[in-house]
Structure 1
Amino acid sequence: MKRKTAHVTRTFRKPSHMHPANFFVPIVEKTTPAIISITTEDYVVNRKMSQILHHFLFPNSQAPGKEVRRSFGTGFIIHPRGYVLTSEHVIHNAKTIYVKLASGETKPAEVMWSDQKRDLTLLRITTVRGPLPVLPLGSSTEVQVGEMVISIGNPLGLENTVTTGIISAKNRPVQIAGRKYEDIIQTDAAINPGNSGGPLINMNGEAIGMNAFIIRDNHGLGFAIGIDSIKPLIRKFL
């Protein structure tokens, strides 16, 4: 009796990032190199009454010095020469500004242009390793309510944190504490302190907004400045 030959069919698993449910993965991998974390330092005098009294009661002891206050924020590179877009309140009154690239490299930054009323700032960083990766700018005019978006930032100093959500509303004018926000995009993508200045990204891997602020104690309410209202103000740097 002739023996039958068994044919074994091998099943190869696709890499996890190829799974249909993981379509955010290539977008994050594409955009993250252009997103930077920002740390600022400001020196404030601690004027607590106990320290003032200490100065008078113990005049020979060391006087209370200046206290270093550090703040965190996010930005994204819009030009290969090192121009970084971020929120003005991230660097407001900062004495020193440092940015950390996705590569881990830390560089000092200087303010090239700033608009406090609109809460916008453009920083410049210098690097010796050639052109920097850039996050393409999309269109906030063309986005639609219900469209999926990604937020990548530095909340509470936790670098490159990724959250997702949808656009909840658009074209909301908001005025807070003397700042005028135009063309506001509302999203339920988680935005926390430290996300300010980071990009709101569409499914094409383009920045369609810059994360601006949240309403405290209200979950699911994040706000970004539409990129189309920013473009005319920074065009000479693009």
Structure 2
Amino acid sequence: GANNFDPAATDNNGTCTYDAEGCTDAFACNFNHQATTDNGSCDFGCYGCMNMNACNFNAEATLHDANECVYIFNQELVGETEVTVNEPTVYTYGFTAGSEYNWTVEGGVVVDGASTHEVSVVWLLEEGAITVQETNADGCEGDVVSLVVNGTVSGVGETSVAFTAFPNPANDVVVVNTHGFEPKDLQIVDATGRVVLSERLVGGQNVINVANLANGTYQMVLTEESNRVVKQLVVAH
């Protein structure tokens, strides 16, 4: 019945009022201005970031919430584009706290700093490219930023750290023969630039166990003091 039912009235004058259930929150997507009683049905799912420049742009949103928008701003990739083959070159991308950085190198290998904003790359070929993509703490991905690299070959420093590796492709072990008597550091790096194996080598023959490495192509980075040589290694079990 009506909220204002009058038992003494004999004629209906059209002034009856009734309870109407619905969403009474004016900020809700389904606000009902005729409702007098809130029935808990309020829906706020229509809010979202409607700025198309934001990385979390919501095409289904009908009400804009600027506080929801997340942005990532591309920065400059800094580093040499004229490099020396087999010598390390440092590349830096703008640092953002909480971000991760995905580096891809063609014609070289990341030997230090993978997933950080600064990496060291040893170039193996006379032509190459390096790219980086930032993912911030909110999971927002930036654009891929790249540099094209040209390399020149220099024999300086290679003789003292020259080495051979066999068999290649390798199955369970690879034998590394180094020149000289000074100890040397060997790193095996996967295609993403991650160091998957490190060994301290002595002069002469060294047997390296690669049985736990997945099938694929790796880079063997041999370092003695400031000299470094890189060779490709294929693992095929």
If the TM-score is normalised by the length of the shorter chain, which range does it land in? under 0.3
Structure (1/2) with the larger helix percentage: 1
- The structure showing larger relative contact order (alpha-carbon pairs under 8 Å, at least 6 residues apart) is 1
The TM-score with structure 1 as length reference comes to: 0.27
TM-score, normalization by structure 2: 0.27
